Structure 1
Amino acid sequence: MNHRPAPSSRSRRAVAAVMGAAAALVLVSCAAEPAEPPASFGSFDEVLAEADGQTVDLWMFGGDAQGNAYVDDVLAPAAAQEGIILRRVPITDTADAVNRVLSEIQAGRTDGSVDLVWVNGANFSTGRQAEAWRCDWTDVLPNMDLTDQDDPLLLNDFGTPVDGCEAPWHKAQFTFFYNSATVTDPPTTLQGILDWATDHPGRFTYPAPPDFTGSVFLREVMLSEAGGAEKVPLAYSEEAFDEHAPAALDALDEVAPSLWRAGATYPRDEQALNTLFADGEVDIAMTYGPATLTDLVASGALPDTTKVLTLGEGTVGNASFLAIPANASDPAGAMVVANLALSPEQQAAKADPRTWGQFPVLDPARLDADQKALFDDLPASPVVPAYDELSRNAHGELAADWVPALDEAWRQAIPGPR
């Protein structure tokens, strides 16, 4: 038997860690002399005039080759036509950008080295708690009118209200995929996947939380065990954790002996899981970035028998955003880049699977005929279905505070070296 601490003691430790980190961040933000409030712009024409000639440093995850190429070869040249130099700053983790912003604010710098950040989830929430983001600027962007103002994925970022503190960039959908050469009758529910794993020992696994993909899978299991996403409150609380987390941990504990290497070890991240899938060691895998599957199959990194597995109850989806630090050196230029990134031309270019394949955030009902044609003319992916199909019955992310609490509970509850 695996002996785990009582849920209440797990949750109290997790809450203490989360609250302690948030308090430390607030102290960091308040330790410096208050900076002057950022200048506001009454119109986008004022933004354009101020932005001319500025250099915008976009800090973003550098491990996505397609994303890097899109920014360097498509977005940056378009920004240059607006009189802006867009400089991509590659980082290994978005938290690196947030930490830089916080440290510079603490030092009293009003000419921060970070102008724009590709961000969402806990990193955005951290910045909000520390008042590190510029807010109330997205309404000035003309292209925001092309988005659905009531889209819940664009209004809340892992439960944190966006409130004009970041501009949407693209959408993502947690997605399972399988090898159709070895799985002839794929499961269609999350519980079905766990049952399949039990019936096919050694042929399934998932990345170990707190890896991003493994962490999402853990949350999906919790939602499934609860009877659906609507059963779990969006906001984190000890009471909700104690009610819903134990069933998920029990389910994963029960299936562990049937996993790859009998659950003695877990892949460190999504890339490691993809390697196991490509080498034929597992038959089902997962990603929060299904846009990458088209290129991975085309390049031979994944087998050409790879197929997407959609679940009847849907999976979790979210949106990625572009945020401007409160102390950015060139906020006007950053606003122009964010508006440009929302243009139909850029959204369509980014949606092309040959470029990056990311799902657009624009509302088709708000596009004119020529703008719609940009998307209609895109080649269909032979691997990834259209977003409408992939996101059927989708549910939004839980509040960011759920993430560290569940990850820590998993670490304590699930046996085996990791």
Structure 2
Amino acid sequence: MKQSHRFVVAAAAVSAAALVLAGCVQSSGGSTGGGGSSDSASKKLTVFISADTNIQDLWQKDLIPAFEKANPGYQVGVDFDLHGLHDQQTVAKLTAATVQKKDPGYDIVDAGFVSQIAASGLLTAVDTKNLPGLKDVPAAITKAGGHDGIPYRASSVVLAYNTKTVPTPPKTLDDLLAWIKAHPGKFTYNSPDSGGSGQSFVTTVLDKYLSAADQEKMETTYTPDLESKWDQGFSTLASLNPYVYQKGVYPNGNNQALDLLASGQIDMVPVWSDQFVTGKKNGQIPSNIAYTQISDPALTGGASYLGIPKASPRQAGALKLASWLLTPSAQAIIANDVAGYPVINLDKLPQDIQTQFKDADIAHLRPSYFASTVSDVNKLWSQKVPGK
């Protein structure tokens, strides 16, 4: 799986610029990483998060305090990149740090590009010997993340709808596309570069016109030569402009899209399952809103993966944190706080969590594209869809 030529060969040319650009990432809680050989320095870790604010809150308000309580002496800080706006700069920074054998400043990376940097050989190799928690994770989930990616939670994108105005929701993608055109202004999705739920809808439409073999290649490798096969899918997406909310308004982020549904401004939208369940629990989503899954093809889902940068000098602490995240207590926090699907065997968890997720077959969710391919989707969508 290692394909280091894709990024490493360019590192010398981009390293200086990458180190500057990476400074664009928002810091939250301060970076507590740093060099040093003292015991206290080795226990100061930094997690880089490229996600929405609910995942930032999960780490800062719940996971980190619980880990620090269970492991006295450890301190964990966060660097947060909202919606992954600077993902490629961060990839460049990690690449440069690996080539130059310098501290990247991050000890754990929680981002959609983990499979990309894993394939490039930038992550520490993990197995059940150095990461004991992996023994409780089904092999299919570990394999799906590529070599060295560490699954720690999972979710899927679902179709949320207003039961008062949509008594019978669409069952297939074709049904959904027909519903959108039959109900102008009542559907939208967030721009794919601003969140995974809108990105899932876009890639699902693109996949409608691809063979199963081409889909698999795009999920597991970077194959830009296949991207011309997206033309029909992008044409379909562009044809929806007159029918989406306010004739082509695409929300910025998963939360904005869900807010439009909760406030009654639209009747249907793709959303993350964990955000939906959490919104129901805290009252942000009214009782008349429900969700379903479509087929042919289904909306995407799967595990979220962590990576431990090979260049980090705090390997022992990073492995300790990663393995702790796969304990029943940490998995229960994730399930309770953000309704994330557990990635360890359910029989390790409390009965209420087993009941809540008994129908979540996370080993067989439809995966999203390879990280580099996702970046191309985002760019091409911006060029071909809005205002067309």
Q: TM-score range by the shorter chain?
A: 0.7 to 0.9
1:81 and 2:52 matched: no
User: Out of 288, 293, 296, which is 2:279 matched to?
Assistant: 296
1:119 and 2:107 matched: no
- Other structure's SS at 2:152 match: strand
Specify every segment of 5 or more residues in structure 1 that has no aligned partner in the other structure, as ranges: 1-18, 32-49
1:377 and 2:367 matched: no
How far did 1:139 drift?
A: 4.0
Closer/same/farther in 2, CA of residues 23 and 108 from structure 1, 3 Å limit: closer
CA distance in 2, matches of 1:191, 1:392: 25
1:187 and 2:173 matched: no
- Other structure's SS at 2:382 match: helix
TM-score normalized with structure 2 length = 0.79
* 1:202–1:258 Cα contact (<8 Å) kept: yes
1:37 — aligned with what?
none
Closer/same/farther in 2, CA of residues 75 and 225 from structure 1, 3 Å limit: same
Name the amino acid aligned to 2:227. F
The 5-angstrom pairing of residues 39-188 of structure 1 reads: 54-61=43-50, 63-65=52-54, 68-69=57-58, 71-93=60-82, 95=87, 98=91, 100-102=93-95, 104-105=97-98, 108-110=101-103, 112-120=104-112, 122-126=113-117, 128-129=119-120, 131-136=121-126, 139-149=129-139, 151=140, 153-157=141-145, 161=146, 163=147, 165-188=148-171
- Other structure's SS at 1:178 match: strand
The 5-angstrom pairing of residues 234-313 of structure 1 reads: 234-235=217-218, 236-243=222-229, 245-263=230-248, 265-287=249-271, 289-313=272-296
2:341 — aligned with what?
359
CA distance in 2, matches of 1:91, 1:226: 35
CA distance in 2, matches of 1:195, 1:108: 54
CA distance in 1, matches of 2:350, 2:12: 43
* 2:161–2:267 Cα contact (<8 Å) kept: yes
* 1:59–1:89 Cα contact (<8 Å) kept: yes
- Other structure's SS at 1:92 match: strand
Closer/same/farther in 2, CA of residues 357 and 246 from structure 1, 3 Å limit: same
* 1:75–1:341 Cα contact (<8 Å) kept: no
How far did 1:183 drift?
A: 0.9
CA distance in 2, matches of 1:396, 1:166: 15
How far did 1:221 drift?
A: 0.6
Higher mean C-alpha deviation, range 135-144 or range 174-183: 135-144
* 2:109–2:308 Cα contact (<8 Å) kept: yes
Q: Deviations over 1:87-137 (max 9, x none)?
A: 131412452654553454566524x421112123x35414643x4322245
Which has the higher Rg, Structure 1 or Structure 2? 1
Higher mean C-alpha deviation, range 189-198 or range 231-240: 231-240
Name the amino acid aligned to 2:226. A
CA distance in 1, matches of 2:157, 2:48: 24
* 1:52–1:83 Cα contact (<8 Å) kept: no
How far did 1:27 drift?
A: 4.3
Higher mean C-alpha deviation, range 57-66 or range 268-277: 57-66
* 2:132–2:323 Cα contact (<8 Å) kept: yes
Closer/same/farther in 2, CA of residues 183 and 25 from structure 1, 3 Å limit: farther
* 1:79–1:340 Cα contact (<8 Å) kept: no
The 5-angstrom pairing of residues 24-35 of structure 1 reads: 24-25=10-11, 27-28=13-14
* 1:222–1:248 Cα contact (<8 Å) kept: yes
Closer/same/farther in 2, CA of residues 139 and 181 from structure 1, 3 Å limit: farther
Specify every segment of 5 or more residues in structure 2 that has no aligned partner in the other structure, as ranges: 18-38
* 2:152–2:326 Cα contact (<8 Å) kept: yes
- Other structure's SS at 2:290 match: strand
How far did 1:387 drift?
A: 6.3
* 1:173–1:318 Cα contact (<8 Å) kept: yes
CA distance in 1, matches of 2:265, 2:316: 50
Name the amino acid aligned to 2:137. T
How far did 1:71 drift?
A: 4.8
How far did 1:75 drift?
A: 4.5
Closer/same/farther in 2, CA of residues 299 and 83 from structure 1, 3 Å limit: closer
- Other structure's SS at 1:185 match: coil
* 1:177–1:286 Cα contact (<8 Å) kept: yes
1:3 — aligned with what?
none
How far did 1:292 drift?
A: 1.8
CA distance in 1, matches of 2:98, 2:360: 43
Closer/same/farther in 2, CA of residues 128 and 86 from structure 1, 3 Å limit: farther
Name the amino acid aligned to 2:45. V
1:399 — aligned with what?
370
Q: Deviations over 1:18-55 (max 9, x none)?
A: x9977544644699xxxxxxxxxxxxxxxxxx899722
* 2:60–2:78 Cα contact (<8 Å) kept: no
Indicate the RMSD between aligned Cα atoms, in angstroms.
3.4
- What percent of counterpart residues are identical? 20
Closer/same/farther in 2, CA of residues 345 and 282 from structure 1, 3 Å limit: same
CA distance in 2, matches of 1:415, 1:359: 33
